Chains A and B, each alone.
Chain A
Amino acid sequence: MKYRLLFGLAVLLWLWPWFGANLALADVATSTSFNLHSVIGTGGSRSTSTTFNEKGVLGQPGEGISSSTSFVLKGGFLYFGPAVTTTVATSGGPGPSGGGGPTGGGGGGLFFPGEQPLPKKTGKLRCGSLALDKVDLSGDCKVNLIDLSILLYYYERSGPGVAQYDFNENLTVDFPDISVMMFYWSG
Protein backbone atom coordinates (compact mmCIF):
# COMPACT_ATOMS: atom_id res chain seq x y z
CA MET A 1 0.00 0.00 0.00
CA LYS A 2 2.80 2.30 0.98
CA TYR A 3 4.64 1.59 -2.22
CA ARG A 4 1.52 2.19 -4.30
CA LEU A 5 1.13 5.59 -2.72
CA LEU A 6 4.76 6.39 -3.32
CA PHE A 7 4.50 5.20 -6.90
CA GLY A 8 1.43 7.35 -7.52
CA LEU A 9 3.18 10.39 -6.07
CA ALA A 10 6.21 9.72 -8.25
CA VAL A 11 4.05 9.54 -11.38
CA LEU A 12 2.34 12.78 -10.42
CA LEU A 13 5.64 14.54 -9.85
CA TRP A 14 7.02 13.12 -13.10
CA LEU A 15 4.10 14.47 -15.07
CA TRP A 16 4.17 17.92 -13.40
CA PRO A 17 6.80 19.55 -15.66
CA TRP A 18 4.80 18.67 -18.74
CA PHE A 19 1.38 19.64 -17.50
CA GLY A 20 1.64 21.70 -14.34
CA ALA A 21 4.41 24.11 -15.33
CA ASN A 22 3.10 24.46 -18.86
CA LEU A 23 -0.51 25.28 -18.01
CA ALA A 24 0.09 28.83 -19.13
CA LEU A 25 1.46 27.79 -22.52
CA ALA A 26 -1.78 26.84 -24.22
CA ASP A 27 -2.62 27.32 -27.86
CA VAL A 28 -2.27 30.62 -29.60
CA ALA A 29 -5.45 31.62 -31.33
CA THR A 30 -5.04 34.14 -34.09
CA SER A 31 -7.03 36.00 -36.64
CA THR A 32 -6.26 38.87 -38.98
CA SER A 33 -7.37 41.35 -36.36
CA PHE A 34 -6.13 39.90 -33.06
CA ASN A 35 -3.76 37.51 -31.39
CA LEU A 36 -4.99 35.62 -28.34
CA HIS A 37 -2.28 34.10 -26.19
CA SER A 38 -2.30 31.84 -23.18
CA VAL A 39 -5.97 30.94 -23.19
CA ILE A 40 -6.99 29.57 -19.80
CA GLY A 41 -10.51 28.56 -18.83
CA THR A 42 -10.88 31.33 -16.25
CA GLY A 43 -10.34 33.89 -19.02
CA GLY A 44 -6.88 35.14 -18.16
CA SER A 45 -5.42 36.04 -21.50
CA ARG A 46 -3.56 38.54 -23.56
CA SER A 47 -5.31 39.91 -26.59
CA THR A 48 -3.83 42.29 -29.11
CA SER A 49 -4.78 43.92 -32.33
CA THR A 50 -3.70 46.95 -34.27
CA THR A 51 -5.76 49.18 -32.00
CA PHE A 52 -5.63 47.59 -28.56
CA ASN A 53 -3.65 45.37 -26.32
CA GLU A 54 -5.67 43.90 -23.48
CA LYS A 55 -4.11 41.79 -20.77
CA GLY A 56 -5.19 39.98 -17.67
CA VAL A 57 -8.87 39.81 -18.44
CA LEU A 58 -10.77 38.12 -15.58
CA GLY A 59 -14.41 38.88 -16.26
CA GLN A 60 -13.56 42.57 -15.88
CA PRO A 61 -10.18 44.07 -16.71
CA GLY A 62 -7.78 42.59 -14.21
CA GLU A 63 -5.45 44.69 -12.16
CA GLY A 64 -2.69 45.96 -14.33
CA ILE A 65 -1.92 48.14 -17.26
CA SER A 66 -2.77 47.38 -20.88
CA SER A 67 -1.69 49.62 -23.67
CA SER A 68 -1.41 50.19 -27.35
CA THR A 69 -0.39 53.12 -29.45
CA SER A 70 -3.80 54.68 -28.94
CA PHE A 71 -4.86 53.97 -25.37
CA VAL A 72 -3.83 52.77 -21.99
CA LEU A 73 -6.19 50.64 -19.88
CA LYS A 74 -5.58 50.88 -16.16
CA GLY A 75 -7.28 47.92 -14.51
CA GLY A 76 -7.96 47.81 -10.80
CA PHE A 77 -8.26 50.39 -8.08
CA LEU A 78 -4.57 51.17 -7.83
CA TYR A 79 -4.38 53.30 -10.94
CA PHE A 80 -6.36 56.41 -10.14
CA GLY A 81 -3.56 58.56 -11.43
CA PRO A 82 -3.99 61.90 -13.16
CA ALA A 83 -5.71 61.73 -16.54
CA VAL A 84 -3.34 61.88 -19.45
CA THR A 85 -4.58 62.82 -22.88
CA THR A 86 -4.15 60.34 -25.64
CA THR A 87 -3.16 61.35 -29.13
CA VAL A 88 -3.68 59.05 -32.03
CA ALA A 89 -0.56 58.95 -34.19
CA THR A 90 -1.25 60.06 -37.74
CA SER A 91 2.17 60.63 -39.32
CA GLY A 92 5.69 61.57 -38.24
CA GLY A 93 6.61 61.58 -34.58
CA PRO A 94 3.86 60.54 -32.23
CA GLY A 95 4.68 62.73 -29.25
CA PRO A 96 4.17 61.45 -25.71
CA SER A 97 1.02 59.50 -25.23
CA GLY A 98 -0.75 57.83 -22.38
CA GLY A 99 -4.36 57.25 -21.49
CA GLY A 100 -6.97 57.15 -18.86
CA GLY A 101 -9.49 54.38 -18.45
CA PRO A 102 -11.72 53.49 -21.34
CA THR A 103 -15.15 54.98 -21.27
CA GLY A 104 -16.93 53.02 -23.91
CA GLY A 105 -16.58 50.12 -26.22
CA GLY A 106 -18.25 47.79 -28.62
CA GLY A 107 -19.42 48.67 -32.10
CA GLY A 108 -16.80 50.94 -33.59
CA GLY A 109 -14.19 50.23 -30.98
CA LEU A 110 -12.71 52.03 -27.98
CA PHE A 111 -12.50 55.80 -27.79
CA PHE A 112 -12.38 58.56 -25.17
CA PRO A 113 -14.57 61.62 -24.77
CA GLY A 114 -13.36 64.38 -27.01
CA GLU A 115 -11.16 62.07 -29.04
CA GLN A 116 -11.78 61.12 -32.63
CA PRO A 117 -13.17 57.61 -32.94
CA LEU A 118 -10.51 55.13 -33.88
CA PRO A 119 -10.39 54.23 -37.56
CA LYS A 120 -12.21 51.11 -38.60
CA LYS A 121 -10.24 47.99 -38.20
CA THR A 122 -9.02 46.92 -41.59
CA GLY A 123 -8.42 43.42 -40.33
CA LYS A 124 -4.70 43.78 -40.95
CA LEU A 125 -1.72 44.64 -38.82
CA ARG A 126 -0.74 48.27 -39.36
CA CYS A 127 2.74 47.36 -40.55
CA GLY A 128 2.12 43.77 -41.52
CA SER A 129 4.03 42.45 -38.53
CA LEU A 130 3.29 42.32 -34.81
CA ALA A 131 6.91 43.19 -34.03
CA LEU A 132 6.88 46.31 -36.19
CA ASP A 133 3.50 47.36 -34.84
CA LYS A 134 4.76 47.17 -31.27
CA VAL A 135 8.27 48.54 -31.67
CA ASP A 136 7.77 51.17 -34.40
CA LEU A 137 7.23 54.38 -32.44
CA SER A 138 7.34 56.88 -35.28
CA GLY A 139 4.56 55.31 -37.33
CA ASP A 140 6.59 54.79 -40.50
CA CYS A 141 6.53 50.99 -40.23
CA LYS A 142 10.28 50.90 -39.80
CA VAL A 143 12.37 50.40 -36.71
CA ASN A 144 15.35 52.70 -37.08
CA LEU A 145 17.26 55.53 -35.50
CA ILE A 146 14.16 57.71 -35.32
CA ASP A 147 12.45 55.20 -33.07
CA LEU A 148 15.60 54.77 -30.98
CA SER A 149 15.80 58.52 -30.53
CA ILE A 150 12.18 58.61 -29.35
CA LEU A 151 12.70 55.66 -27.00
CA LEU A 152 15.80 57.19 -25.45
CA TYR A 153 13.86 60.32 -24.60
CA TYR A 154 11.77 58.18 -22.24
CA TYR A 155 14.68 56.10 -20.98
CA GLU A 156 14.51 55.29 -17.26
CA ARG A 157 11.04 56.77 -16.94
CA SER A 158 8.30 54.83 -15.24
CA GLY A 159 4.58 54.86 -15.05
CA PRO A 160 1.51 54.46 -17.21
CA GLY A 161 2.45 57.46 -19.34
CA VAL A 162 5.34 55.57 -20.91
CA ALA A 163 3.49 52.28 -21.39
CA GLN A 164 3.79 52.34 -25.17
CA TYR A 165 7.58 52.56 -24.86
CA ASP A 166 7.77 49.79 -22.30
CA PHE A 167 7.94 46.76 -24.57
CA ASN A 168 8.58 44.20 -21.85
CA GLU A 169 5.80 45.70 -19.72
CA ASN A 170 7.74 46.01 -16.52
CA LEU A 171 6.42 49.55 -16.00
CA THR A 172 9.81 51.11 -16.75
CA VAL A 173 11.54 52.09 -19.98
CA ASP A 174 14.89 50.44 -19.40
CA PHE A 175 17.71 48.73 -21.20
CA PRO A 176 15.79 45.55 -22.13
CA ASP A 177 13.33 47.75 -24.05
CA ILE A 178 16.23 49.22 -26.01
CA SER A 179 17.50 45.71 -26.67
CA VAL A 180 14.10 44.60 -27.95
CA MET A 181 14.05 47.56 -30.34
CA MET A 182 17.55 46.78 -31.57
CA PHE A 183 16.62 43.15 -32.13
CA TYR A 184 13.71 44.12 -34.36
CA TRP A 185 15.71 46.83 -36.14
CA SER A 186 14.69 47.13 -39.76
CA GLY A 187 16.92 50.07 -40.74
Chain B
Amino acid sequence: MEKESPKSFNRYGSKFPGPAFLFLLLYSISYILNPSTGYASSHPVFYFEGPEGMLGAGSEFSVKVLVDSKEALNAYAFSIDYPAEKLEVVSVNDAGTILDIRKDQPEAPFSSPLKFSGAGFKSFSGKAGLLFRINFRVIEVGSSLLTFSESKAYLADGKGTLIVPEVRILKVEAKEGILGSTPEVVNDKTPPSFEKLALVPDPINSGQKLLTFLVKDDVSGVRDVSLQSKRWLWWEEIKKISNPAAVSNSTWAVRVRVSDNTGNISEKIIYDWGVLARNLWPLILIMFFAIILVINRIFRRKRL
Protein backbone atom coordinates (compact mmCIF):
# COMPACT_ATOMS: atom_id res chain seq x y z
CA MET B 1 0.00 0.00 0.00
CA GLU B 2 1.44 3.23 -1.04
CA LYS B 3 1.67 5.95 1.51
CA GLU B 4 0.16 9.20 0.38
CA SER B 5 2.57 11.99 -0.10
CA PRO B 6 2.81 14.20 2.98
CA LYS B 7 2.03 17.10 0.73
CA SER B 8 -1.51 15.79 0.31
CA PHE B 9 -2.19 16.44 3.95
CA ASN B 10 -2.44 19.79 5.70
CA ARG B 11 -0.64 20.61 8.88
CA TYR B 12 -3.45 19.06 10.88
CA GLY B 13 -2.95 15.77 9.17
CA SER B 14 -6.19 16.05 7.21
CA LYS B 15 -6.96 16.09 3.51
CA PHE B 16 -9.57 18.86 4.06
CA PRO B 17 -8.57 22.49 3.73
CA GLY B 18 -7.36 24.16 6.88
CA PRO B 19 -9.45 26.54 9.05
CA ALA B 20 -7.68 29.59 7.62
CA PHE B 21 -8.72 28.73 4.13
CA LEU B 22 -12.28 27.97 5.24
CA PHE B 23 -12.47 31.28 7.04
CA LEU B 24 -11.28 33.10 3.95
CA LEU B 25 -13.82 31.32 1.80
CA LEU B 26 -16.69 32.09 4.16
CA TYR B 27 -15.64 35.73 4.45
CA SER B 28 -15.49 36.10 0.68
CA ILE B 29 -18.99 34.64 0.32
CA SER B 30 -20.42 36.93 2.99
CA TYR B 31 -18.62 39.91 1.44
CA ILE B 32 -20.27 39.27 -1.90
CA LEU B 33 -23.69 38.57 -0.43
CA ASN B 34 -23.72 41.58 1.92
CA PRO B 35 -23.70 44.72 -0.22
CA SER B 36 -23.44 47.10 2.70
CA THR B 37 -19.96 46.02 3.64
CA GLY B 38 -17.86 48.49 1.74
CA TYR B 39 -19.56 48.32 -1.69
CA ALA B 40 -20.31 51.86 -2.91
CA SER B 41 -22.63 52.71 -5.79
CA SER B 42 -21.07 54.74 -8.61
CA HIS B 43 -24.49 56.11 -9.52
CA PRO B 44 -25.96 59.06 -7.71
CA VAL B 45 -28.84 58.33 -5.38
CA PHE B 46 -32.05 60.33 -5.09
CA TYR B 47 -33.84 59.77 -1.81
CA PHE B 48 -36.21 61.28 0.71
CA GLU B 49 -35.78 62.34 4.29
CA GLY B 50 -39.13 62.40 5.99
CA PRO B 51 -40.90 62.12 9.32
CA GLU B 52 -40.16 59.31 11.67
CA GLY B 53 -42.89 57.60 13.61
CA MET B 54 -46.62 57.51 13.18
CA LEU B 55 -48.62 60.53 12.08
CA GLY B 56 -52.20 61.45 12.71
CA ALA B 57 -54.95 62.58 10.38
CA GLY B 58 -54.45 66.23 9.49
CA SER B 59 -50.75 66.16 10.37
CA GLU B 60 -48.47 68.34 8.33
CA PHE B 61 -44.95 67.17 7.69
CA SER B 62 -41.96 68.15 5.62
CA VAL B 63 -40.07 65.88 3.23
CA LYS B 64 -36.63 66.71 1.89
CA VAL B 65 -35.59 65.48 -1.52
CA LEU B 66 -31.87 64.76 -1.38
CA VAL B 67 -29.06 63.52 -3.59
CA ASP B 68 -25.83 61.68 -2.85
CA SER B 69 -23.24 61.52 -5.58
CA LYS B 70 -19.59 60.66 -5.95
CA GLU B 71 -19.51 62.25 -9.41
CA ALA B 72 -19.92 65.98 -9.92
CA LEU B 73 -23.42 66.76 -11.14
CA ASN B 74 -24.94 70.05 -12.25
CA ALA B 75 -28.43 69.35 -13.59
CA TYR B 76 -31.31 67.25 -12.26
CA ALA B 77 -34.79 66.24 -13.33
CA PHE B 78 -37.27 64.00 -11.57
CA SER B 79 -40.94 63.48 -10.81
CA ILE B 80 -42.38 62.47 -7.47
CA ASP B 81 -45.47 60.33 -7.22
CA TYR B 82 -47.60 60.37 -4.10
CA PRO B 83 -51.09 59.06 -3.32
CA ALA B 84 -53.25 62.13 -3.83
CA GLU B 85 -56.17 60.49 -1.99
CA LYS B 86 -54.11 60.22 1.22
CA LEU B 87 -51.70 63.15 1.05
CA GLU B 88 -52.07 66.75 0.02
CA VAL B 89 -49.19 69.03 -0.97
CA VAL B 90 -49.29 72.23 1.07
CA SER B 91 -46.24 73.96 -0.42
CA VAL B 92 -42.93 73.45 -2.16
CA ASN B 93 -39.87 75.20 -0.78
CA ASP B 94 -36.66 75.83 -2.70
CA ALA B 95 -34.77 77.60 0.08
CA GLY B 96 -31.20 76.51 0.65
CA THR B 97 -31.08 74.04 -2.23
CA ILE B 98 -28.13 73.22 -4.46
CA LEU B 99 -30.16 74.47 -7.42
CA ASP B 100 -29.75 78.03 -8.67
CA ILE B 101 -31.99 77.65 -11.71
CA ARG B 102 -35.31 75.89 -11.55
CA LYS B 103 -37.03 75.13 -14.82
CA ASP B 104 -39.87 72.92 -13.59
CA GLN B 105 -41.23 73.60 -10.14
CA PRO B 106 -44.77 72.62 -9.14
CA GLU B 107 -47.21 75.41 -8.42
CA ALA B 108 -50.55 75.39 -6.68
CA PRO B 109 -52.88 73.66 -7.23
CA PHE B 110 -50.57 70.68 -6.81
CA SER B 111 -51.20 67.24 -8.25
CA SER B 112 -49.33 63.97 -8.56
CA PRO B 113 -46.78 63.54 -10.05
CA LEU B 114 -44.82 66.61 -8.99
CA LYS B 115 -42.35 67.53 -11.70
CA PHE B 116 -39.00 69.16 -10.89
CA SER B 117 -35.98 70.14 -12.91
CA GLY B 118 -33.15 72.54 -12.36
CA ALA B 119 -29.44 73.12 -12.30
CA GLY B 120 -26.76 74.69 -10.18
CA PHE B 121 -24.00 77.12 -11.12
CA LYS B 122 -21.60 75.04 -9.08
CA SER B 123 -21.42 71.30 -9.52
CA PHE B 124 -22.33 69.08 -6.59
CA SER B 125 -20.71 65.93 -5.32
CA GLY B 126 -21.10 64.59 -1.83
CA LYS B 127 -23.91 63.63 0.45
CA ALA B 128 -27.32 65.06 1.27
CA GLY B 129 -27.51 67.71 -1.42
CA LEU B 130 -30.90 69.35 -0.95
CA LEU B 131 -32.94 69.50 -4.14
CA PHE B 132 -36.34 70.53 -2.82
CA ARG B 133 -38.47 70.53 0.29
CA ILE B 134 -42.12 69.51 0.06
CA ASN B 135 -44.67 70.10 2.79
CA PHE B 136 -47.50 67.57 2.93
CA ARG B 137 -50.70 67.20 4.91
CA VAL B 138 -52.32 63.86 5.75
CA ILE B 139 -55.90 63.77 4.54
CA GLU B 140 -56.53 60.05 4.95
CA VAL B 141 -54.84 57.59 7.31
CA GLY B 142 -52.96 54.57 6.07
CA SER B 143 -49.63 53.86 4.38
CA SER B 144 -48.46 56.26 1.74
CA LEU B 145 -45.51 55.71 -0.56
CA LEU B 146 -43.50 58.53 -2.08
CA THR B 147 -41.66 57.33 -5.18
CA PHE B 148 -39.47 58.81 -7.91
CA SER B 149 -40.20 58.48 -11.59
CA GLU B 150 -38.31 59.77 -14.68
CA SER B 151 -35.21 60.56 -12.64
CA LYS B 152 -32.21 61.97 -14.43
CA ALA B 153 -28.99 63.67 -13.51
CA TYR B 154 -26.27 65.16 -15.70
CA LEU B 155 -22.56 65.14 -15.08
CA ALA B 156 -20.79 68.48 -14.86
CA ASP B 157 -18.44 67.51 -17.68
CA GLY B 158 -19.40 69.98 -20.37
CA LYS B 159 -20.88 67.19 -22.49
CA GLY B 160 -24.33 66.81 -20.98
CA THR B 161 -23.63 63.21 -19.99
CA LEU B 162 -26.77 61.64 -18.61
CA ILE B 163 -26.48 59.44 -15.55
CA VAL B 164 -29.52 57.60 -14.28
CA PRO B 165 -29.63 57.76 -10.50
CA GLU B 166 -30.69 55.09 -8.08
CA VAL B 167 -33.82 56.04 -6.20
CA ARG B 168 -35.18 55.22 -2.76
CA ILE B 169 -38.81 55.42 -1.74
CA LEU B 170 -40.31 56.82 1.45
CA LYS B 171 -43.12 55.20 3.39
CA VAL B 172 -45.27 57.42 5.56
CA GLU B 173 -47.68 55.89 8.07
CA ALA B 174 -50.71 57.68 9.44
CA LYS B 175 -53.14 56.23 11.96
CA GLU B 176 -56.39 57.20 13.57
CA GLY B 177 -56.27 58.32 17.14
CA ILE B 178 -52.95 60.10 16.91
CA LEU B 179 -53.00 63.85 17.31
CA GLY B 180 -52.23 65.79 14.14
CA SER B 181 -48.96 67.68 14.20
CA THR B 182 -47.66 70.62 12.27
CA PRO B 183 -44.09 71.20 11.20
CA GLU B 184 -42.01 73.89 12.84
CA VAL B 185 -43.28 77.33 11.86
CA VAL B 186 -40.78 79.11 9.67
CA ASN B 187 -40.06 82.54 11.09
CA ASP B 188 -39.06 84.42 7.99
CA LYS B 189 -38.90 88.18 8.31
CA THR B 190 -36.39 88.68 5.53
CA PRO B 191 -37.79 89.51 2.12
CA PRO B 192 -36.41 87.73 -0.95
CA SER B 193 -33.29 89.14 -2.54
CA PHE B 194 -32.48 89.95 -6.15
CA GLU B 195 -29.25 88.27 -7.13
CA LYS B 196 -29.47 89.42 -10.73
CA LEU B 197 -31.89 91.71 -12.57
CA ALA B 198 -31.33 93.17 -16.01
CA LEU B 199 -32.90 93.95 -19.35
CA VAL B 200 -30.82 92.37 -22.09
CA PRO B 201 -31.29 92.38 -25.85
CA ASP B 202 -32.48 89.10 -27.30
CA PRO B 203 -29.62 88.01 -29.58
CA ILE B 204 -31.97 85.87 -31.67
CA ASN B 205 -35.12 87.98 -31.92
CA SER B 206 -34.19 91.62 -32.32
CA GLY B 207 -37.81 92.69 -31.87
CA GLN B 208 -37.77 92.09 -28.13
CA LYS B 209 -35.59 92.21 -25.07
CA LEU B 210 -35.42 89.81 -22.17
CA LEU B 211 -35.91 90.59 -18.51
CA THR B 212 -33.47 88.27 -16.85
CA PHE B 213 -33.49 87.77 -13.10
CA LEU B 214 -32.33 85.50 -10.33
CA VAL B 215 -34.12 85.76 -6.99
CA LYS B 216 -33.54 83.89 -3.77
CA ASP B 217 -35.04 83.42 -0.36
CA ASP B 218 -32.91 81.31 1.90
CA VAL B 219 -35.53 80.81 4.60
CA SER B 220 -38.97 80.09 3.21
CA GLY B 221 -38.26 79.99 -0.53
CA VAL B 222 -39.59 82.07 -3.40
CA ARG B 223 -43.29 81.71 -4.12
CA ASP B 224 -43.75 83.74 -7.26
CA VAL B 225 -42.42 86.61 -9.35
CA SER B 226 -44.57 89.15 -11.17
CA LEU B 227 -43.90 91.91 -13.65
CA GLN B 228 -45.35 95.26 -14.71
CA SER B 229 -44.00 97.21 -17.62
CA LYS B 230 -44.26 100.74 -18.93
CA ARG B 231 -44.11 101.74 -22.58
CA TRP B 232 -45.60 105.22 -22.24
CA LEU B 233 -46.71 106.90 -19.05
CA TRP B 234 -48.74 104.22 -17.28
CA TRP B 235 -48.02 100.80 -15.87
CA GLU B 236 -49.50 97.89 -17.76
CA GLU B 237 -51.22 94.96 -16.07
CA ILE B 238 -49.34 92.75 -13.63
CA LYS B 239 -48.49 89.27 -14.82
CA LYS B 240 -46.70 86.34 -13.23
CA ILE B 241 -43.47 85.44 -14.92
CA SER B 242 -40.59 83.01 -14.87
CA ASN B 243 -37.03 83.70 -15.86
CA PRO B 244 -36.65 85.15 -18.41
CA ALA B 245 -39.61 87.22 -19.56
CA ALA B 246 -39.79 88.85 -22.97
CA VAL B 247 -40.78 92.52 -23.17
CA SER B 248 -41.25 94.82 -26.10
CA ASN B 249 -38.29 96.88 -27.28
CA SER B 250 -40.26 100.04 -26.53
CA THR B 251 -40.59 99.16 -22.83
CA TRP B 252 -38.61 101.69 -20.81
CA ALA B 253 -39.45 100.67 -17.25
CA VAL B 254 -40.07 97.32 -15.63
CA ARG B 255 -41.27 96.68 -12.09
CA VAL B 256 -40.47 93.24 -10.69
CA ARG B 257 -42.09 91.98 -7.52
CA VAL B 258 -41.02 88.80 -5.69
CA SER B 259 -42.87 87.17 -2.84
CA ASP B 260 -41.71 84.36 -0.62
CA ASN B 261 -43.74 81.62 1.00
CA THR B 262 -44.41 83.66 4.14
CA GLY B 263 -45.70 86.72 2.31
CA ASN B 264 -42.58 88.93 2.37
CA ILE B 265 -42.26 91.00 -0.78
CA SER B 266 -39.35 92.62 -2.56
CA GLU B 267 -39.77 95.00 -5.45
CA LYS B 268 -37.39 96.62 -7.89
CA ILE B 269 -37.83 98.92 -10.86
CA ILE B 270 -35.32 99.06 -13.66
CA TYR B 271 -35.24 101.65 -16.42
CA ASP B 272 -34.04 101.75 -19.97
CA TRP B 273 -33.48 105.51 -20.34
CA GLY B 274 -32.35 105.23 -23.92
CA VAL B 275 -35.74 103.88 -24.93
CA LEU B 276 -37.52 106.61 -22.99
CA ALA B 277 -35.46 109.30 -24.69
CA ARG B 278 -36.22 107.82 -28.09
CA ASN B 279 -39.96 107.62 -27.31
CA LEU B 280 -40.22 111.16 -25.92
CA TRP B 281 -37.66 112.92 -28.11
CA PRO B 282 -40.16 114.64 -30.46
CA LEU B 283 -42.20 115.90 -27.53
CA ILE B 284 -39.13 117.26 -25.75
CA LEU B 285 -37.96 118.97 -28.92
CA ILE B 286 -41.31 120.67 -29.50
CA MET B 287 -41.41 121.88 -25.91
CA PHE B 288 -37.83 123.15 -26.15
CA PHE B 289 -38.45 125.25 -29.25
CA ALA B 290 -41.80 126.44 -27.99
CA ILE B 291 -40.07 127.74 -24.87
CA ILE B 292 -37.37 129.42 -26.98
CA LEU B 293 -39.99 131.09 -29.17
CA VAL B 294 -41.94 132.32 -26.17
CA ILE B 295 -38.81 133.71 -24.50
CA ASN B 296 -37.79 135.36 -27.78
CA ARG B 297 -41.17 137.06 -28.13
CA ILE B 298 -41.05 138.30 -24.57
CA PHE B 299 -37.59 139.87 -25.12
CA ARG B 300 -38.75 141.40 -28.40
CA ARG B 301 -41.69 143.11 -26.74
CA LYS B 302 -39.46 144.47 -23.99
CA ARG B 303 -37.11 145.99 -26.56
CA LEU B 304 -40.04 147.64 -28.36
Chain A interface residues (CB < 8 Å from chain B): 6, 10, 13-14, 16-17, 21, 37, 92-96, 130-131, 134-135, 137-138, 145-150, 152-156, 167-169, 175-176, 178-180, 182-185
Contacts and interface: CB of A to CB of B under 8 A. Distances in A.
Interface residues of B, number: 40
Contacts, number: 105
A94 B159 CA distance: 6
A36 B75 CA distance: 36
A148 B119 CA distance: 8
Contacts of B117: 145
B75 A14 contact: no
8 contacts: A138-B160, A150-B159, A153-B157, A168-B201, A169-B203, A175-B198, A176-B210, A182-B103
A176 B201 CA distance: 9
B16 interface: no
Contacts of B203: 134, 167-169, 180
B244 A137 contact: no
B26 interface: no
Interface of B: 74-75, 77, 101, 103, 117, 119-121, 152, 154-162, 196, 198, 200-206, 210, 212, 214, 243-244, 246, 278, 281-282, 285, 289, 292
Contacts of B103: 145, 148, 182, 185
A93 B162 CA distance: 10
A96 B158 contact: yes
Contacts of B119: 145, 148-149, 152
A131 B204 contact: yes
B154 A179 contact: no
Given A95-B158, A168-B200, A183 B121 contact: no
Given A167-B203, A179-B243, 15 more contacts: A10-B285, A17-B278, A94-B159, A95-B159, A131-B205, A145-B119, A148-B101, A149-B160, A152-B74, A152-B119, A153-B158, A156-B121, A168-B201, A180-B204, A185-B103
Contacts of B74: 149, 152-153
